[in-house]
Homo-oligomer: A and B are copies of this chain.
Amino acid sequence: MRARNLAVVLDAIHRTGPHTRAALAERTGLTKTTVSSLVADLLEAGVVTESGAVRGGERGRPGVAVSLSGHRVATLGLEINIDYLAACVVDLTRTVRLRRTRPADNRSSNPAEILERLRDLAKETTAEAESAGLRVIGAALAVPGTVEGGVLRSAPHLGWRDVRVEDVIDLPLAIDNEANLAALGELWFGSRDTDFLYVSGEIGIGAGLVVGGTVFRGTFGLAGELGHVVVVPDGPACRCGGRGCLEVYAGQDALLGPLDSVAALVARLESGDPRALEACERAGHALGVALTSAVHLVDPGRIVLGGIFARLFPWLEGPVADGLGARLGQMRGTPPALVVSGIGADAAVLGAAGLVIQRILADPAEVLGL
């Protein structure tokens, strides 16, 4: 009961901003004595802080306001991507305090070796946060693959199967698919819209569907594999065993062709290189087909292009929007808006840190041991 009340009080502070204890009592229906005792615990744990006087409650007597504290409790976001490792630290107010990225080549790699490097990065980042007075109390890891029951089941581009990661750091560690976490990153650190399909363009292509502020995960947590939606049933073989999947036409390898980086592709596009433009046109056309199927099946509020698709948005927007308009227009009037993610490559690692923040806010007693 006390755990539940702590969550109720913290939720009120989090959602509707600084409140006096009296205002919190009014909002939550708890007695002022109970609220004062709960707030004392939250203050002690560094979850909330007291700030300047505000008008509190109906009588309007000024009081000391209690608000979320960004000064003590923080969480660690981690990411293993195909060509980099990343870490970030986010405080309870969802302010990003640190970001660290290390280029890497993780294709067909040895899990133990990469996890060792991730451990180093996590340790350094945590130490740096702690030297700034933050207490990092939990972490989450974004991976480019499917996750079931806390285990990385399959990350084909890494060449990993059935890898356990919980020992990477000496903190409680959650693990989730990078597209799901990038979608949550977009929700908490990007547009803050609550209904959208986030499309994560990387070497693989994933999607995270957010409906009413919650990620839809499907029955086994495997939803959102947009990269393997069929675009051409008898198209080229895909590494998944299927044929003509979206990834074959719009994954990073298809877009880059012989080029070695997205920056090189963007430079070619800016100079009007016909082969580069054609690759984007083809990818955009395939994305339009796959997203048409996705809109019919999951009915997203809008479509947010992220990852490398965000950098290529000027060249992808036209063909994708044309495809959606031509195929969806008659049934839906206007198709869902197509927009670009504003948070770029950091989406997944920020979403990972945000996931742990969400857990603290939902159940501070459990997560913080109050």
User: Which residues of A approach B to under 8 Å, CB–CB?
Assistant: 146, 154, 156, 195, 207, 211-212, 216-226, 228-233, 240-243, 285, 289-290, 292-294, 296-301, 326-332
Contacts and interface: CB of A to CB of B under 8 A. Distances in A.
Contacts of A220: 299, 301
Contacts of A285: 233
13 contacts: A219-B299, A219-B301, A220-B301, A223-B298, A225-B297, A226-B297, A228-B296, A228-B331, A230-B293, A230-B327, A241-B329, A293-B293, A298-B298
Given A220-B299, A224-B297, 6 more contacts: A219-B300, A233-B289, A240-B327, A241-B326, A241-B331, A298-B298
A254 to B, nearest CB: 16
A224 B243 CA distance: 24
Contacts of A243: 327
Contacts of A241: 326-331
A223 B327 contact: no
A294 B292 contact: no
Nearest to A288: B233
Contacts of A331: 146, 154, 156, 225, 228, 240-241
A240 B330 contact: yes
Contact of A294 (B242, B290, B297, B327): B297
Nearest to A286: B233
Contacts of A299: 217-224
A326 B243 CA distance: 9
Contact of A328 (B226, B242, B330): B242
Contacts of A207: 297
A3 to B, nearest CB: 17
Contact of A232 (B146, B224, B232, B330): B232
Contacts of A224: 297, 299
A299 B328 CA distance: 23
A212 B221 CA distance: 12
Nearest to A241: B330
A285 B243 CA distance: 14
Contacts of A290: 230, 293
A297 B300 CA distance: 12
